[in-house]
């Protein structure tokens, strides 16, 4: 099926062709015929499904005729997403006489005021807080808005924007078309949706949580907390051609990890809310251009990153919620690409790990790296116990990669400890026992051939 067959006009399909798309994605096929005639829509679209074009293309088409004014407003949770939607919309609109602009916090307000007041925009992409600031300064008029989009609406609610959204809804004309895209439907969003939408069509009736694309291979890597940076380094080392996003929970954690990875020779960048706008833009640009191979980021940054060919998402810290997990790993395997999603799990993460697996409806494979010393003590812990040693099983190799699988019945979050000194084990189906551990639970070193076996990661 072609874009023209969906009813999009020539000036828009030309823009789409210029970007290089040949046929619409499923969400585009479904949503465009609903949006073009003016219906309200609630759509549950997976990250990377092509949802931006699914709403921008019909919006541009609807705006082709009519007065020049701010007629379409797209609300997004983060400045990164605002910049990306703006960039995409500008490309699609390149053969249409329409202008697109974006406003978001963290940068000076006057240039944004000039853009809106003097240059004028037909489509404005905005984060809620900055839009309200601009409105409070009488720099933007929302009286002519005909189409409102709430993009990644669940994320906006997660980030505490629900009251701002409600305030914005009251500033908009009631006669308008409203489109809402959201991977999940938290209760708080229901209230916003009830107020915003009128008799909406629904697409892919939202499952309570979005499912990650099947092309993403997921694995959990149990490890003691003090060995996380070493294990991450090993995982990165064992992957020659990778572009990886590494997620941490906190901004300070991101900065710390960034420094560690740099010291160890990885081309690293960092992206989080405390970095200035120009630092964030530079990090993303360097990542897109391949100057940075490992981008350390916090969750806030996770939704907005639209970089093709991210081969790996690595959760250095387990995400707080299953939703965050799904959104983080959605950064890889975009469109039809494949990707790997690795999560380092420690004994402390047991609850979060259980929640993620419950949501996914399946258990994620645990993997241990061969030739990684899991038994190393914390430097100060001379008399402490060895962390994480004990019963390990060697399972099947995936392709030419060799790893050690932890038996399926161990606790979420770590390899089973040997209880009462026993080294007994129950081999998994088709598995082989690892070489026997010594008195300290250490396994013998492997030979050079083993060491060479690498997993593409």
Is 317 a binding residue for ligand AMP by CB under 6 A? The answer is no
Count CA within 13 A, CB hemisphere, residue 408.
10
Task: Please state the separation of Cα 150 from the chain's center in Å.
Answer: 18
In whole angstroms, the minimum distance from the beta carbon of 7 to ligand AMP comes to: 15
Specify the stretch interacting with ligand AMP by CB under 6 A; choose among 47-55, 226-234, 402-410, 415-423: 47-55
Is 331 a binding residue for ligand AMP by CB under 6 A? The answer is no
Site string for ligand AMP, 54-93 (x = CB under 6 A): ----------------------------------------
Is 13 a binding residue for ligand AMP by CB under 6 A? The answer is no
- 94: region left, alpha or beta (phi > 0 left; psi from -120 to 50 alpha): alpha
Is 24 a binding residue for ligand AMP by CB under 6 A? The answer is yes
Contacting residue, 11, 14, 17, 21, with ligand AMP by CB under 6 A? 21
Is 49 a binding residue for ligand AMP by CB under 6 A? The answer is yes
Contacting residue, 6, 30, 52, 271, with ligand AMP by CB under 6 A? 52
Q: Of the two residues 92 and 220, which places its CB atom closer to ligand AMP in the complex?
A: 92
Helices of type H across 98-215: 110-114, 128-136, 153-158, 162-171, 187-196
Cα angle at 244 between 27 and 410, to 5 degrees?
Answer: 90
Contacting residue, 9, 15, 48, 441, with ligand AMP by CB under 6 A? 48
Q: Of the two residues 25 and 315, which places its CB atom closer to ligand AMP in the complex?
A: 25
Cα–Cα dist 75/81, whole Å: 10
Q: Of the two residues 211 and 451, which places its CB atom closer to ligand AMP in the complex?
A: 211
Is 50 a binding residue for ligand AMP by CB under 6 A? The answer is yes
Tokens of 392: 């390990």
Q: Of the two residues 142 and 147, which places its CB atom closer to ligand AMP in the complex?
A: 147
Is 306 a binding residue for ligand AMP by CB under 6 A? The answer is yes
Asked whether 348 and 225 are in contact (CB, 8 A), the reply is yes
Interface size with ligand AMP, residues (CB under 6 A) = 14
Is 157 a binding residue for ligand AMP by CB under 6 A? The answer is no
Contacting residue, 334, 389, 403, 414, with ligand AMP by CB under 6 A? 334
| Residue reference for tokens 């949580």 | 209
| Residue reference for tokens 């994620």 | 364
Q: Of the two residues 339 and 395, which places its CB atom closer to ligand AMP in the complex?
A: 339
3-class DSSP state for residue 178? Answer: strand
In whole angstroms, the minimum distance from the beta carbon of 330 to ligand AMP comes to: 9
Q: What are the C-alpha distances in Å from 232 to residues 141, 248, 333, 353, 366?
A: 49, 12, 20, 18, 15
Can you say whether the dihedral through the CA atoms of 435, 437, 438, 442 is positive or negative? positive
Q: Of the two residues 25 and 268, which places its CB atom closer to ligand AMP in the complex?
A: 25
Is 25 a binding residue for ligand AMP by CB under 6 A? The answer is yes
**Strand 294-297 versus strand 312-315 pairing type:** unpaired
In whole angstroms, the minimum distance from the beta carbon of 2 to ligand AMP comes to: 11
CB atoms within 10 A of CB 53: 25
Cα–Cα dist 96/112, whole Å: 22
Burial environment of residue 323 by CB neighbours within 10 A (0 to 12, 13 to 18, 19 or more): buried
In whole angstroms, the minimum distance from the beta carbon of 449 to ligand AMP comes to: 40
Longest dimension (CA), the chain: 81
Site string for ligand AMP, 255-294 (x = CB under 6 A): ----------------------------------------
Burial environment of residue 300 by CB neighbours within 10 A (0 to 12, 13 to 18, 19 or more): middle
Specify the stretch interacting with ligand AMP by CB under 6 A; choose among 23-31, 290-298, 388-396, 422-430: 23-31
Is 51 a binding residue for ligand AMP by CB under 6 A? The answer is yes
Q: Of the two residues 274 and 308, which places its CB atom closer to ligand AMP in the complex?
A: 308
Contacting residue, 8, 34, 43, 53, with ligand AMP by CB under 6 A? 53
Q: What are the C-alpha distances in Å from 78 to residues 152, 155, 298, 425, 437?
A: 10, 9, 12, 48, 49
Contacting residue, 4, 5, 335, 433, with ligand AMP by CB under 6 A? 335
| Closest CA relative to residue 279, chosen from 107, 77, 40 | 107
Specify the stretch interacting with ligand AMP by CB under 6 A; choose among 44-52, 155-163, 384-392, 437-445: 44-52
> Can you count the helices (H) and strands (E) in the chain?
16, 17
Binding residues for ligand AMP, rule: CB under 6 A, are 21, 24-25, 28, 48-53, 306, 308, 334-335
């Amino acid at each position: 099926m072609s874009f023209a067959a969906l009813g999009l006009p020539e000036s828009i399909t030309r823009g789409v062709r210029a970007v290089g798309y040949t046929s619409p994605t499923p969400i585009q096929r479904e949503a465009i015929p609903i949006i073009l005639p003016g219906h309200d829509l609630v759509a549950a679209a997976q990250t990377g499904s092509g949802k931006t074009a699914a709403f921008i293309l019909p919006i541009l088409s609807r705006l082709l005729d009519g007065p020049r004014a701010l007629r379409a407003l797209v609300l997004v949770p983060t400045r990164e997403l605002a910049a990306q939607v703006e960039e995409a919309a500008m490309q699609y609109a390149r053969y249409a006489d329409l202008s697109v602009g974006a406003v978001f916090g963290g940068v000076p307000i006057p240039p944004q005021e000039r853009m809106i007041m003097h240059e004028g925009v037909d489509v404005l992409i905005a984060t809620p807080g900055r839009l309200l600031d601009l409105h409070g300064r009488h720099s933007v008029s929302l009286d002519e808005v005909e189409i409102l989009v709430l993009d990644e609406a669940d994320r906006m609610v997660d980030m505490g924007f629900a009251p701002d959204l409600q305030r914005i809804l009251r500033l908009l004309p009631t006669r308008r078309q409203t489109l809402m895209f959201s991977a999940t439907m938290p209760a708080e969003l229901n209230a916003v949706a009830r107020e915003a939408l009128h008799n909406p069509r629904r697409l892919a009736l939202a499952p309570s949580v979005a499912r990650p694309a099947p092309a993403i291979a997921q694995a959990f890597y149990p490890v003691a907390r003090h060995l996380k940076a070493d294990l991450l380094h090993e995982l990165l080392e064992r992957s020659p051609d990778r572009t990886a996003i590494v997620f941490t929970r906190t901004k300070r954690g991101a900065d710390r990890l960034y420094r560690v990875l740099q010291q160890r020779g990885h081309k690293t960048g960092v992206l989080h809310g405390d970095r200035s706008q120009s630092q964030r833009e530079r990090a993303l640009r360097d990542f897109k251009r391949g100057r940075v191979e490992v981008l350390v980021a916090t969750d806030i940054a996770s939704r907005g990153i639209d970089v093709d060919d991210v081969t790996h998402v690595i959760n250095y810290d387990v995400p707080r919620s299953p939703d965050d997990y799904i959104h983080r790993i959605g950064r890889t395997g975009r469109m039809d690409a494949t990707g790997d999603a690795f999560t380092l799990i420690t004994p402390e993460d047991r609850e979060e790990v259980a929640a993620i697996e419950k949501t996914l409806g399946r258990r994620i494979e645990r993997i241990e790296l061969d030739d990684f010393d899991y038994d190393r003590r914390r430097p100060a812990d001379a008399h402490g116990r060895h962390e994480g040693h004990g019963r390990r099983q060697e399972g099947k190799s995936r392709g030419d990669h060799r790893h050690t699988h932890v038996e399926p019945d161990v606790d979420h979050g770590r390899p089973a400890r040997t209880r009462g000194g026993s080294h007994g084990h129950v081999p998994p189906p088709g598995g082989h026992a690892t070489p026997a551990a010594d008195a300290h639970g250490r396994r013998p070193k492997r030979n050079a051939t083993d060491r060479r076996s690498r997993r593409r990661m």
